[in-house]
């Protein structure tokens, strides 16, 4: 199994005993790109219990809503890829008139810019707020 990277501590805006959400790190950069990763070494969504899967998707929903508000967009792409054999989602906020579809995944790799990290506090508050308004 590929080594799943640890997030930059300052990029994490939601965390519980099972998973964390953070702004993307060292990957194709889109403003607000987020990763929601399962902490335990689980290779595929099919290996999660129904309860764990529901928990994961509840967090995906709350983070998606937080990204839409924080980045003033009506669309957030979700991508579940299996390149690391680890359960995690990529979320890409899409600005109107911006890059669309799979082109988001072909952008050059770069570190998460400081401007994105300034959004962590806002994303933390919005995610927690969304979890309270199911």
Q: How confident is the model at residue 30 (pLDDT cuts 50, 70, 90)?
A: confident
Between residues 29 and 7, which one has the greater pLDDT? 7
Q: At what angle do helices 120-131 and 50-70 cross, to 10 degrees?
A: 130
Mean pLDDT of 116-124: 87
pTM of the prediction?
0.82
Owner of token pair 């690391």:
84
DSSP state of 4: P
Q: How confident is the model at residue 24 (pLDDT cuts 50, 70, 90)?
A: confident
Mean pLDDT of 80-107: 72
Structure tokens at 64: 């998606």
Owner of token pair 């792409």:
77
**CATH homologous superfamily of 9-131:** HIT-like (3.30.428.10)
């Amino acid at each position: 199994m590929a080594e799943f990277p640890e997030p930059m501590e300052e990029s994490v805006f939601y965390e519980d005993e099972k998973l964390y959400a953070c702004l993307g790190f060292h990957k194709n950069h889109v403003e607000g790109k987020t990763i929601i990763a399962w902490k335990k070494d689980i290779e595929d969504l099919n290996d999660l219990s129904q309860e764990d899967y529901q928990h994961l998707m509840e967090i995906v929903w709350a983070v998606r809503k937080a990204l839409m508000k924080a980045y003033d967009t009506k669309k957030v792409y979700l991508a579940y890829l299996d390149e690391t054999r680890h359960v995690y989602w990529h979320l890409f906020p899409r600005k109107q008139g911006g890059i669309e579809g799979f082109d988001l995944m072909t952008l050059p790799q770069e570190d998460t810019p400081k401007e994105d990290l300034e959004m962590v506090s806002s994303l933390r508050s919005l995610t927690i707020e969304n979890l309270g308004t199911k």
